[in-house]
Structure 1
Amino acid sequence: MISLAIVSLFVSAGVGVVATPTRRPLPLVIWHGLGDRYDSAGIKSVGNLAQEVHPGTFVHSIYLDEDSDADRSATFFGQVDEQIATVCSQLSTIPELSSGFNAIGFSQGGQFLRGYVQRCNSPPVKTLITFGSQHNGIADFLAECKPTDFICRTASSALLSSKWTPWVQNRVVPAQYFRDPEDLDAYLEHSAFLADINNERPGKRNKTYADNLASLERFVMLMFEDDTTVVPKESAWFAELNRTTGERTLVEDRELYKQDWIGLKELGDRKQLEFLTTPGRHMELSDELLTDLFKKYLGGKVSGEKVESWVQDVEL
């Protein structure tokens, strides 16, 4: 075994040392939900918990504006296509993410992260976990707006009164993932985001969307059993609910899956698609649940920056 003194001698004599990669947990990217902020106490606690479970994890919370209030406003008002393009640019400039990362999306942040994967995915997502996300849209908007929360109340009023107008579809975020199975013609004609990202328009399907989503190592979707905010709650699993008859169509029985419009079937065939449930209402998450999920799905290793090693490149 080479002693430290001998190694130091080689270094002082100008003998080169070999750069070897370190190993660290995969970074984690978080996209928060409607009415939340990228720097809220809840989002910070999730990042801290991930670092406790997998020490050394680099955590990035996606923001649409560095001003906290403006970032919250952007969850209600903005063009989702532009927001995802902004995030594609944002993540591409972060060196720690360059080799890939895991991602978790809360509520609407989940389908938006999926939009990131399908549209750019550079750097690539390895495991995507979504919590109560509206992957198959919402057929009603039941956000609980406080009396003094004028941003929330304005968005709600605009969506419920004129959801298919160009002004609302290009400005009100929840309207852009509104989808009523009993009004599909209007949805396919006017939807500014979801109909595209779900590849539902005949003749306009983007193969890149399917290829990119199928590149995930794992796609985990969690549904809240008592969710009354997301209507229908089954949207979290890409399932479809006929609210008139109560009939539920699982994703495996939908054409979106059977024809593999967005890569879900390929993931399913490879056993890389998981559907989870948890008791509770929308976004009622315990540290115990998150800890279990983080232990099971996050923390894979990635080669890090090159660092100096005590191994020399000369024969002794």
Structure 2
Amino acid sequence: MVRRIASLLLASALASVTAATAPVPLVIWHGLGDTFDNPGLQSVADLYKSIYPGAVTHIIHLADDGGGDRKASYFGSLPNEIANVCEQLSADTNLTSAAAAHGVHALGFSQGGLFMRGYVEACNTPKVHTLVTFGSPHNGISEFVKCKPTDWVCRTAFSFLNANKWSDWVQKNIVPAQYYRHPSPEEMEKYLEFSGFLADINNERADKNTSYKSNLGDLEGGLVLYKFDEDEVIIPKESVWFAEVLEDGKVTWLTDREMYHEDWVGLKKLNEAGKLKFLKTGGGHMHITDELLTEVYTKYLWQPEGVVPKKVNSARISEALGSLAVPYQGLESTGDQRPIMVQNPRAGPIWRV
């Protein structure tokens, strides 16, 4: 019996040591119109595992198949979807065991980055160490989209938005409506009253959720916000840095906003600790290279002592990553119409109204 107990204690100790010295796991959340089985997303995970052999990765999915997952990026209640992701991640034993020592790193693309922040604020189990978002509308979008004629999922979703964006049904069932935020006084009044998601996680209402502030403000590795220089997809593109853009085009940057000075969600705490990064990269929405991801993985995603990044075949990874940008290559605007909010290479372009 004594030997058995000693063996169990030794095994437990060895497991703890292994977890403490293994690469930090990576969780990935895709954007609107994308799917968890998109080869481009798989290459994002593969690159991380190539740089850090033995790393555990998890691509968030809201259905068991790609079609259902894509549909869930358009339709659903965001609070419910985030609650489901909280259960999904906490139930992944490979992820939780690997995350026991240092938590997980999180990577969010477009709306997926916004939702990943919602996860951190709402539950954060397993705990996120560092959150990196690419082109994510943290301060919302001020315009909706016009869909490709043959994209019936998109057309069905957005037909409700233009006329009924503040209805209870739309705010509980159409995903992009739940982070719509127009700066006009009339729209802001409706936003604060009816928004089904963004006004809540940004703590913009009078009744503040203190756990949102503490959870986000306690990110050990911080929050890294990437903006694409030529982003014509997120309207306004400054939203990815939590900036407010008025109807006349005047920009109020985060550090000049009330939400920062009163620290509604912990951003001031992060910034004062040097853990809030405002970064930009060239190209349009979701134009991501292996060089950029490699920089993110090796510069911003902390690893335990002894975990050394490995050089990888960049040409092979670049070819795979190209699928993330396929929907935006060669798109032209007509008048004031520009592409917005899609990143699925199989879905085709979606156009802003």
TM > 0.5: yes
Alignment of 1:205-220 (within 5 A): 205-217=208-220, 218-220=222-224
Task: Give the counterpart of 2:239 among 235, 254, 263.
Answer: 235
Structure 1 residue ranges without an equivalent (≥5): 1-13, 304-316
Greater fraction of residues in helix? 2
**Aligned mates of 1:102, 1:240 — CA distance in 2:** 28
Q: Which residue of 2 aligns with 1:84?
A: 82
Greater fraction of residues in strand? 1
Asked if 1:162 corresponds to 2:160, the answer is no
8 Å Cα contact 2:77-2:172 kept in structure 1? yes
* Cα drift, residue 302 of structure 1: 8.9
Q: Which residue of 2 aligns with 1:125?
A: 128
Q: Which residue of 1 aligns with 2:94?
A: 96
Spell out, residue by residue over 1:193-234, the C-alpha distance to the aligned partner (whole angstroms, 9 max, x if none): 0000000001x1000000000110210000111111111001
Q: Which residue of 1 aligns with 2:273?
A: 270
**Aligned mates of 1:52, 1:69 — CA distance in 2:** 28
Q: Which residue of 2 aligns with 1:288?
A: 291
Spell out, residue by residue over 1:227-269, the C-alpha distance to the aligned partner (whole angstroms, 9 max, x if none): 11111001100001113x2110000011111100000000011
Helix, strand or coil: the match of 1:230?
coil
Helix, strand or coil: the match of 1:275?
strand
Q: What amino acid maps onto 1:154 in structure 2?
A: T
**Aligned mates of 1:177, 1:224 — CA distance in 2:** 19
Q: Which residue of 2 aligns with 1:314?
A: none
Helix, strand or coil: the match of 1:170?
helix
Task: Give the counterpart of 2:177 among 164, 175, 191.
Answer: 175
Q: What amino acid maps onto 1:239 in structure 2?
A: A
* Cα drift, residue 156 of structure 1: 2.0
**Aligned mates of 1:285, 1:292 — CA distance in 2:** 11
Specify whether residues 296 and 153 from structure 1 end up closer, same or farther in structure 2 by C-alpha distance, changes over 3 A only.
same
8 Å Cα contact 1:111-1:133 kept in structure 2? yes
**Aligned mates of 2:168, 2:69 — CA distance in 1:** 23
Spell out, residue by residue over 1:77-119, the C-alpha distance to the aligned partner (whole angstroms, 9 max, x if none): 0000000000001111112332210000000111101011001
* Cα drift, residue 284 of structure 1: 1.0
Spell out, residue by residue over 1:175-210, the C-alpha distance to the aligned partner (whole angstroms, 9 max, x if none): 0000011121010011000000000001x1000000
* Structure label with greater radius of gyration: 1
* Cα drift, residue 123 of structure 1: 1.1
Asked if 1:39 corresponds to 2:41, the answer is no
Helix, strand or coil: the match of 1:231?
coil
Asked if 1:111 corresponds to 2:109, the answer is no
* Cα drift, residue 137 of structure 1: 0.4
Q: Which residue of 1 aligns with 2:304?
A: 301
* Cα drift, residue 135 of structure 1: 0.4
Moved more, 96-105 or 175-184: 96-105
| TM-score in terms of structure 2 length | 0.78
**Aligned mates of 1:296, 1:189 — CA distance in 2:** 41
8 Å Cα contact 1:25-1:302 kept in structure 2? no
Q: What amino acid maps onto 1:294 in structure 2?
A: Y
**Aligned mates of 2:178, 2:194 — CA distance in 1:** 9
Helix, strand or coil: the match of 1:140?
coil
What is the percentage of aligned positions where both structures have the same residue?
51
Runs (4+) off by over 4 Å: 14-17
Aligned residues: 288
**Aligned mates of 1:36, 1:15 — CA distance in 2:** 49
Q: Which residue of 1 aligns with 2:258?
A: 255
